[in-house]
Structure 1
Amino acid sequence: MNVLFVGDIFGKPGRFVIQNYLSKIIEELGIDVCIANGENVAGGKGITEKTARKLFDGGIDVFTGGNHLWDKKDSLNYIAEEKRILKPINYPSAALGARYFIKTISENNKLAIVSLIGQAFIASVDSPLFSLEKILPELYEHTNKILVDFHAEATAEKRALGLYFDGKISAFLGTHTHIQTADEEILPNGTAYITDVGMTGPHDSVIGIKKEIIFEKIKTGMPQRYETAQNGLQLNAVFLKIDDESGKALEIKRIKRKYND
């Protein structure tokens, strides 16, 4: 099974990259399943029905979430109904969004996708470790191929959980910081790992925001109104090859492409 996981899609520039370049990458790499973190697709915060539908049409199969997933209040009903938009499973049960998604490639070849969020410096939620452990038996009833997006701030928290779940899942992929890390590897027991997949959106920016705004905030210490940067485009992602029989990762490869549009 060939899987593409796209790092946090940020605003209009990120959507442009998906709508104009993703299909070529899917064809080039022979992708069976394409997943993306979607918590920033609408103006850098949240997701709407309109933006989600366009990106589904652009080749995304399922969106994982994060702390900004529900920022667009007029889209909450859509999030509640759309099974391809996942909430982090360690939020309260009343939080809107699906708990996981099973993507069927064929009758005997399926991938379970799970969204999880960290506790350190980001969200007051249930333990990500215990929450993922609790849901694994339910996922194993469907498939032994499981991908987890761990949306977290602290690199140590990401690394610790990645090592803990090594051999229990196919891939443990970090998101949230918007900075792609260069530590991708297959862990000893067969789980693909990376601390952060990165961001798909404006390259000439500070994690998606106009750099001049961040400069001013640093210089003055005063709050600023954030605006999405528009200059330079990039796609950050990882390519995964997962063994159809064992569910173990065979390959993980970082993808970082820049575009001049």
Structure 2
Amino acid sequence: MADVVGRPGRDALEDRLAGLREELEVDVCVVNGENVADGVGITPKLAERLLAAGADAITLGNHTWRRQEIRPYLESSDRIVRPANFAATTPGKGLTVVPAADGTPVAVVNVMGSLSLQPATSMWELVDDLVDEARSATPVVVVDVHAEATSEKVALARWLDGRVTAVIGTHTHVQTSDARVQPGGTAAITDAGMTGPHDSVIGVKAEQATQRMRTGMTVRFEVADGGIRIEGVLVGFDGATGRASAITPVRVPWP
């Protein structure tokens, strides 16, 4: 599932995710939760709610540290990851392995792009080692690349083609129309979209976002509440080889 934004996104997911998993025959579900706490960050309580709603693993992004209480939770949880290219001294990890419904182990990797986001380390310096570590546990590897630049996301998908099952872009909150299975068997999309209010500017009340852009002045952002829908992608894969066979964008209005 794409970036879950604020209470509207959380409410939609809690109401529909279990049913969607059954309808779409989903074996494993990865959710980006870095915007779930009023649009910025995540708390342990909200992470547990996403997991209880049907997420098997949660990925994060540039707003990871906006809620200080998440730090000890990241140290202890095996189901939530933050970008692996944060500083090595920060809590948490960028790789985890969770079981699919049939028991197949699925590795989930989280990295962040450099343009506008400026992580401590470039994802290019560590992604190969991360993928090798993931593949030592399972051939099924899903990479969440949380990045501003489409070029970084497309380049990473090309670089990892044939070595991972899927490279899913997050962060920009607008679902792109380039879902494809690449020649090496890696599914990819530049951005999976947003689970939240789409009558907005990427989840924020439009008038507030527009005021900041027009004036350059500080404006307190609030999560919008109209046009809510669940977005993400459905990836078909072979559990034995890790090769993807299909990728389909998901867009479900709510309620």
TM class by smaller structure: over 0.9
Q: 1:18 aligns with which of 13, 18, 29?
A: 13
Distance 1:204 1:98, change over 3 A: same
Alpha-carbon contact 1:87-1:95 (below 8 Å) kept: no
State whether structure 2 residue 188 is matched by structure 1 residue 224.
no
Q: Distance in 1 between matches of 2:108 and 2:20?
A: 21
State the partner residue of 1:176.
Answer: 171
Q: Runs of at least 4 residues of structure 1 off by over 6 A?
A: none
Distance 1:9 1:166, change over 3 A: same
Question: For residues 1-261 of structure 1, what are the structure 2 equivalents within 5 Å?
Answer: 6-105=1-100, 109-259=104-254, 261=255
Provide structure 1 residue ranges, at least 5 long, that are not aligned to the other structure: 1-5
- Alignment TM-score, normalising by the size of structure 2: 0.96
Provide structure 2 residue ranges, at least 5 long, that are not aligned to the other structure: none
Q: Distance in 1 between matches of 2:128 and 2:238?
A: 22
Letter of the 1:129 partner, please give it: W
Distance 1:79 1:108, change over 3 A: closer
Q: Distance in 2 between matches of 1:176 and 1:93?
A: 22
Q: Which moved more, 1:83-92 or 1:247-256?
A: 83-92
Alpha-carbon contact 2:196-2:229 (below 8 Å) kept: yes
Q: Distance in 2 between matches of 1:41 and 1:165?
A: 29
Q: Report how far residue 99 of structure 1 moved.
A: 2.8
Q: Distance in 1 between matches of 2:103 and 2:22?
A: 23
Secondary structure at 1:33 match in 2: coil
Count of residue correspondences: 255
- Alignment TM-score, normalising by the size of structure 1: 0.94
Q: Distance in 2 between matches of 1:145 and 1:131?
A: 19
Q: Report how far residue 116 of structure 1 moved.
A: 0.6
